[in-house]
Structure 1
């Protein structure tokens, strides 16, 4: 488990000082993947450096399994830092060392015997699916394979916390999905606490249990992924699943935006909504999917001649939040279906 308590990082002094991280508080439980997202300049890189104490926080604490790393001496910190494995945006592999030799680096640094090192490296390469690439050099590996070697190296010292700092940035979609699946497998098998720092919202949906948005050094919103997606008032939820362009409503209809707020939305909600309103409902666009085993989604609909309050009430009874969409220009059709 890793916890941040009032973590603050300030650069400069007096009038010239810049607060990069401002009293951050959050915890990542064992077996949890916690994502931190935010725009460029939000403080994500500084957060990563403070978590593994490459940068000393100005104030506040970084606790791993209850021990306050920010209060340790440099000597004590070198030992404690082994509990945090780090995966970087660039794989950071040495070009003149094979995959196996790169994974072995932390073990060699600690003076682990050659026999123990060979056994541990073989175990790790097998775990990340690269047993047959042990003798390959980085230039002989794909981007996803190099990142897997980086993950194996991060696990060499058996950490309890894994810090992923933009680890999927720059990878193609297939490699990203592969790395995400590996991280979830490692979380489940090893009970790791994984702090996943990224700007890729799609990847957050694939990998994380919880997420926090960092902006100007402060956490402005956080929560469990599914809860955020089902909360129509959540800005972070909307950012995770933005509405796409959709067909315009017929001339005699008004446009409404509906979103799933419940685990019990019936699959035929569109038909039920039309039946209970006694009018025509047009499906203009929709995005429905399963996230962490839960169905979430939203849709744009056109409704002809329905009372506003009645529509909201009926939608709520179906586990949906309904609100009128602002008037806008006609957009390209994605899905068009009418239910009388």
Structure 2
């Protein structure tokens, strides 16, 4: 699991307009030139960076976030890159690479730490060597994006944005072309199956993946999985990734029939959640899955609004949703983040 969610990035960018007068932490600020060139401005504008950096450096509300980034063991991650990655391990290895890439790219954006930028780029280059980005198949031959292809798509899109001029135009284009093939299209295929379950031949685990080595005996019956997924968090994950990936690909590679097709599918999938969330803002899968779902939806909604493709901010009663979160919270001295759990 990641050290923190992408929601932390969004909170930081959203709070960047707040005026602050807090004691400064000794942390080097980013150069005004090195880390200011966002490639796509997917989630925030370059003009927001000074305020975000001030918050990152000074605001005690982001101290844990900052400390976790700074505490990442870069030597361990480089050892992993050099000798431990298995290029058919989508369950653990590809997601570790994506998390490290995002973390280091964002740290570079906030501080100008060039070693962090180098590690982020190395992680993405390693992701490029995975022939498949997920361990699910349709019809025993087509990779579909359920969680790992989506997370890798988002990681590549965000890192290609945040590293800016640290990555050449040609290399960024190659990253995004591979992302389209191994990330966006598998996400589209899973959403297509969820939208049209009667057209699905059959989903299964990829026998070439290490998944069943990690989870022996996990031969889940997926006969009705596409249909069942229509109203769950696992629809939001590929939908969000496809939105972010399509907008990034279009910004770098130009508009195409593929980006049009992907954007139509992701907007349809996100709009479907208007009927999944109740009118009072509550969510049927419990608090943890509610958070997972909305974390992904808000990322996609932000990117689609900024790109001008769709304004989907009103699909959820967000005030009611926050009430739902508060009413289902159950903090204790042992677990200050405890919740009422009626899920799994």
Tell me the TM-score normalised to structure 1 length. Answer: 0.28
Q: Which structure shows the higher strand fraction? A: 1
Tell me the TM-score normalised to structure 2 length. Answer: 0.28
